[in-house]
Amino acid sequence: MSVEDRLAAMGLALPAPPAPVGNYRAGVIRGKVGSLSGQLPIRDGNPVVTGVLGRELTVEQGREAARLAGLNVLAQLKHLLEDFAALDGLIRVDGFVASMPDFLQHAAVLDGASDLFAAVLAERGAHTRSAVGVASLPLGMPVELVVTFATR
């Protein structure tokens, strides 16, 4: 079953890959190492959810934001590679969560993305992860995912 078929079976489709908001590229591949710019819970150029975990957002809302950012990761990979067949696999996902100092459930939030990658990319979705709570993210969004991957 293709990545697109797995997404469809989950009731999901790839969004348009968000354009960079500055003088950088959405994705770069040199050698067999690829990198994506930080992906946010944005759709059609607008933030879908803004706010800070531990203040106005619940863990469940953070998890949904991470899933949306994860969908954008998949959209960028497809756009850059043209076909998911060219993906050897994810390597590293750095997850930044806009957090109040007393917020401690970063892992539960970021599983919104990790669960998606496991469901649609299977073994190629296996990745390491860092989870860091930060003061603020671009446009006030709650989650940013920074992904490194390997190409075939």
Give the footprint of a copy of itself on this chain (CB under 8 A): 20-28, 30-33, 35-38, 52, 88-94, 96, 99-104, 106-108, 110-111, 114-115, 118, 126-140, 144, 146, 148-150
CB of 4 to a copy of itself, least distance (A): 21
Cβ nearer to a copy of itself, comparing 14 with 70:
70
CB of 142 to a copy of itself, least distance (A): 12
Cβ nearer to a copy of itself, comparing 10 with 107:
107
CB 150, CB 91: distance < 8 Å: yes
- Closest C-alpha to 117, from 132, 128, 106: 128
CB 73, CB 83: distance < 8 Å: no
CB of 68 to a copy of itself, least distance (A): 17
35 strand-pairing partners: 28, 148
- Closest C-alpha to 131, from 107, 98, 100: 107
